[in-house]
Structure 1
Amino acid sequence: MSATTHRHHERRISPVFLAIAAVMGVTGWAVWTDFAASTGLAVFLFVTSAWIVSLCLHEYAHARTALHSGDITVGAKGYLTLNPLAYTHAVLSVVLPVLFVIMGGIGLPGGAVFIERDRVRGRWKHSLISAAGPLANVLFAVACTAPFWLGALDGVPVAFRYALAFLAFLQVTAALLNSLPVPGLDGYGVIEPWLSYRFKRQIEPYAPYGFFVVIALLFVPAINGAFFDGVDALMRALGVPELARYCGSNLFRFWESAPEICAV
């Protein structure tokens, strides 16, 4: 196998990702056309598959930026195929975020691809690799909210509008949480190259716990309230009414009784 063919194989889109994207497309069509017997189930499958797609794009953004920054090993690890099963921590990257969406309706940052940082030269490149993931979530949120801030909602079915609003909410929460300067999250990865060696050595033992500390802090009422107030403010700035996000969340949790205000 030639080097060119080998590199092409490393970047071939995974059938696993294509299957997930197909589920997103089919269920999105079902929500749009009201084809499914249960609109709530269709919204659940559409949002869940779209959320997994966004997680794959998040990790791909890290890997692709690392590739162009000097780490040529990311291809051999399968990170450029968009295969969620290829991640270093598949449970943290996919399973746990999906479970939190189902249980609590919040977009959590996932795990990470393993980047060989010693191959990357320059602090700006290291920062950009870490920033690439949250930026992918931001772009996904912009795409989901485009019909709202462009005023292009005419003809968009109500259920699909609600689903987009909830999906955008997940992207915004994930981007904000992952941008926090907490060890173990991408926000810390952005500033880490600019910190002193001594400080980084002191912080290093606590890095594996940063993710769980953030989750625990979200259960503190004052912090929880401040965080979601900020999320709601961003959603309003993107033209998404709080009611649309609320009803999207209700449709997503189709096993619960939906209020009359969210009837579709």
Structure 2
Amino acid sequence: MTTAISRRDRRISPVFLGIVAVMAVAGWAVWTDFAARAGVTARLDASVFLFVTAAWIVSLCLHEYAHARTALHSGDISVGAKGYLTLNPLKYTHALLSIVLPVLFVIMGGIGLPGGAVFIERGRIQGRWKHSLISAAGPLTNVLFAVVCTAPFWLDALDGVPATFRFALAFLALLQVSAALLNFLPVPGLDGYGVIEPWLSHGFRRQIEPFAPFGLLFVFALLWVPEVNRVFFDVIYAITDGLGVNEAEAYCGRELFQFWRGENPICAAP
């Protein structure tokens, strides 16, 4: 089934490798506190911002890749020609929704907003379970990313880890948890609805279909309601706390990420 996929269609994009390189270099700068040693003030230290943003974009690429790869093995070989298997964020059908808006939401409010998915030719895929798995593959990638980010916390392996790097990991984990939770909401247009859609009646799906493009906007509007926002973050913090990350660490990670606001004395590394 995958024999029609050429090596070029599967080759990892230099764009993705460049983003990974930025993440690695910025992560090294955070770990070594390079900016402070170079005499850069807190207001100009963008190392945490670059590390978290690059890592967030990497996770978005892996999210979309998981959709595409699962679709490929489920019968849709068209994903290769569309460039989805190269991990190149510029190949997504909705780059604005998949990359730009999620990054902007992280910068504005620290929310891991789900993005627009790759275009899957569903007619090539047979079986409701396969359709559900394709939709679930993306947010499950965020879950895995969150587990990896929080591993040093729940494994109690933080000895020797610089406080700034720990805070950055905590904030990145919060973004992954929020992205997974939002994506799994059974709202038309989000992956959660895609998981249950194959099991709904044809008539019900036809009625819901016109609302799919507005599902993300609906979630966005709800999150601006203070009461909803408070409950949402209570759930997020409960999950991250269960993974060993306390709210204060995630908060400090966000403060360091928004470096343009200046140093918060509460989050100053010892």
The answer to whether TM tops 0.5 is yes
Q: Return the offset for 1:258.
A: 3.1
Q: Which runs of 5+ in 2 are unaligned?
A: none
The correspondence of residues 18-33 of structure 1 with structure 2, limited to 5 A, is: 18-33=17-32
* 71, 87, 91: which one aligns with 1:86: 91
Partner of 1:258, secondary structure, is coil
* 218, 223, 226: which one aligns with 1:213: 218
Contact 2:223 2:229 in 1 (8 A): yes
* 142, 145, 149: which one aligns with 1:144: 149
Distance 1:117 1:64 in 2: 14
* Equivalenced residues, count: 262
Distance 2:219 2:213 in 1: 12
Distance 1:117 1:50 in 2: 30
* 104, 115, 122: which one aligns with 2:120: 115
Residues 1:7 and 2:6 are matched in the alignment: yes
Aligned position for 1:61 = 66
Aligned position for 1:198 = 203
Which aligned runs of 4 or more in structure 1 are off by greater than 2 angstroms? 3-6, 36-40
Contact 2:4 2:77 in 1 (8 A): no
Q: Which one-letter code corresponds to 2:256 in the other structure?
A: L
Distance 1:114 1:196 in 2: 23
Q: Return the offset for 1:241.
A: 1.1
Distance 1:199 1:6 in 2: 36
Q: Which one-letter code corresponds to 2:186 in the other structure?
A: P
The correspondence of residues 224-263 of structure 1 with structure 2, limited to 5 A, is: 224-263=229-268
Deviation string 1:26-59 (CA, Å, 9 cap, x unpaired) is 0001101111244641000000000000000000
Change (3 A) 1:6 1:74: closer
Q: Which one-letter code corresponds to 1:24 in the other structure?
A: M
Question: Given the two structures, how large is their TM-score scaled by the length of structure 1?
Answer: 0.97
Distance 1:26 1:123 in 2: 43
Partner of 1:111, secondary structure, is coil
User: C-alpha root-mean-square deviation of aligned residues, in Å?
Assistant: 1.3
Q: Return the offset for 1:4.
A: 6.7
Distance 2:247 2:208 in 1: 38
Contact 2:113 2:179 in 1 (8 A): yes
Distance 1:80 1:188 in 2: 24
Partner of 1:184, secondary structure, is coil
Question: Given the two structures, how large is their TM-score scaled by the length of structure 2?
Answer: 0.95
Q: Which runs of 5+ in 1 are unaligned?
A: none
% identity of equivalent residues: 74
Distance 1:194 1:69 in 2: 17
Distance 1:212 1:88 in 2: 18
Aligned position for 1:126 = 131
